[in-house]
């Protein structure tokens, strides 16, 4: 039953995506089936083979080394007591370091090679266009507003379906800069890396169901990365990356303070009418009711369905950072299987706030298509959410 329920979950999620489709009569079954196949193959390699276990070990070792390096920097600036303040001086500084490291890797052209290789695989297997495959691959490594820079020369000429695919990919994956931060919280590095990787083809599948391609893409079958260098040398790249990482870190810190305070305030307002069913109403209870069917279909242990459903709701209404932070505090109370499935389901930027971030970021690159981005914003959030749930179902079948 642990495997049969997520199989049913895959079918239900695809059906929900079809219900949201702009054109239910135009379904590219070759793309849909090959995308699911690619997702399964990648997941199987990472979760059920010796190669995958080696990758898990390497991911954990890499994050441990990165964390050690960050500890040296924070210890020098804030003193040895810094390590006792987990979020402020352990998790957030990791974002600054990884951002600087990412900028260096981009300057050297290493990340471009990884993105291009991954995009070519998706073009070959799924028969998607070069722009949407590059955008999906780039979103695995960088943020949703940075990934479009990889295909900037083609943004104006992208079809509506390609725009949807690009935006959905940004919603369904997480950037490497914050991925390390979630691992520092207590999430397994191997699982979160696998989740982001297999969500890329899942996002393309769901996006193509919800907004099927009815035009001819100018980049069909073409994979070309054209990113002008922003930095003079490695040192310049490291400085720029650190500066951008600091901005992101301050935004994350402000977001955590604001949203956690808002949750507490909202729960207080909901509790004013009195108890309902023996206890006060809260956001946790409301989202738990709404997302419980999805948590069940992912194969979460029955006793943990309500808890995981609450986390799914918080990720959508607030963001994944808060959801992961709460998930790690529940590690001892959740069944190991439920904890792992939740790790996959939460691995994406699909939330209400991301709609504004994406429209604002990409809209600056193509101001003439800003209204079209706004039209696709909410739809792409739904697609990203369903893609994450699809990834969780696939993982649940294999773990």
What does the pLDDT read at residue 257?
81
226-239 tens-digit pLDDT: 666 778 888 998 89
With b for 16 or more beta-carbon neighbours within 10 A and e for fewer, the 46-70 pattern comes to bbeeeebeebbeebeeebeebbeeb
In the block, which residue shows the tokens 């191997």? 190
How many CB atoms lie under 10 A from the CB of residue 223?
21
Q: Could you tell me the residue ranges of all domains in the chain?
A: 3-398
Q: How far is CA 169 from CA 22, 307, 390, in A?
A: 18, 27, 13
Residue of 136, 162, 154 lying closest to 215 (CA atoms):
162
DSSP letter for each residue of 113-130: HHHHHHHHHHHHHH--BH
Any bridge partners for residue 275, and if so which?
A: 280
Phi/psi at 131 (5° precision): -65, -45
What does the pLDDT read at residue 227?
66
165-221 tens-digit pLDDT: 999 999 999 887 788 788 888 888 889 989 988 999 999 999 999 999 988 888 887
Classify residue 280 by its DSSP letter. E
DSSP letter for each residue of 136-204: HHHHHHS-TTTGGGGGGGGGGG--HHHHHHHHHHHHHS--HHHHHHHHHHT--HHHHHHHHHHHHHHHH
Residue 399 CA to residue 391 CA, distance in Å, equals: 12
Helix axes 189-210, 176-185, angle to 10 degrees: 130
What does the pLDDT read at residue 226?
66
Residues of the chain with confidence (pLDDT) below 50:
none
């Amino acid at each position: 039953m642990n495997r049969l329920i997520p199989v049913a979950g895959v079918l239900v999620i695809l059906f929900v995506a079809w219900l949201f489709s702009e054109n239910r009569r135009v379904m590219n079954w070759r793309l849909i089936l090959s995308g699911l196949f690619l997702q399964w193959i990648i997941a199987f390699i990472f979760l059920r083979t010796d190669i995958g276990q080696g990758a898990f070990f390497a991911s954990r070792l890499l994050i441990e080394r990165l964390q050690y390096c960050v500890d040296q920097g924070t210890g020098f600036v804030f003193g040895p007591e810094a390590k006792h303040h987990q979020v402020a001086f352990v998790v957030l500084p990791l974002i600054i370091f990884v951002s600087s490291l990412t900028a260096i890797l981009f300057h050297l052209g290493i990340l471009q090679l990884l993105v291009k290789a991954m995009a070519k695989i998706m073009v070959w297997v799924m028969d998607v266009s070069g722009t949407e495959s590059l955008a999906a691959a780039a979103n695995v490594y960088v943020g949703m507003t940075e990934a479009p820079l990889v295909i900037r020369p083609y943004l104006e000429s992208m079809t509506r379906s390609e725009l949807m695919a690009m935006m959905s990919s940004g919603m369904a994956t997480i950037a490497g800069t914050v991925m390390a931060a979630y691992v520092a919280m207590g999430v397994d590095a191997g699982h979160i890396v696998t989740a982001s990787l297999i969500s890329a083809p899942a996002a393309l599948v769901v996006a193509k169901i919800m907004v099927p391609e009815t035009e001819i893409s100018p980049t069909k079958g073409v994979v070309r990365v054209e990113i002008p260098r922003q930095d003079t040398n490695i040192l310049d790249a490291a400085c720029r990356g650190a500066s951008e990482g600091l901005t992101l870190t301050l935004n994350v810190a402000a977001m955590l303070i604001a949203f956690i305070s808002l949750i507490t305030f909202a729960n207080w307002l909901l509790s004013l009418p009195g108890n309902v069913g023996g206890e006060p109403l809260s956001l946790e209870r409301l989202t738990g009711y709404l997302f419980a069917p999805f948590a069940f279909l992912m194969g979460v242990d029955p006793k943990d369905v309500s808890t995981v459903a609450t986390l799914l709701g918080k990720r959508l209404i607030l963001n994944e950072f808060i959801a992961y932070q709460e998930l790690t505090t529940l590690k001892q109370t959740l069944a190991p299987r439920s904890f792992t499935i939740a790790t996959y389901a939460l691995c994406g930027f699909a939330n209400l706030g991301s709609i504004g971030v994406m429209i604002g970021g990409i809209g600056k690159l193509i101001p003439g298509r800003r209204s079209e981005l706004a039209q696709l914003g909410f739809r792409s959030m739904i697609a990203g959410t369903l893609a994450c749930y699809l990834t969780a179902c696939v993982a649940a079948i294999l773990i």
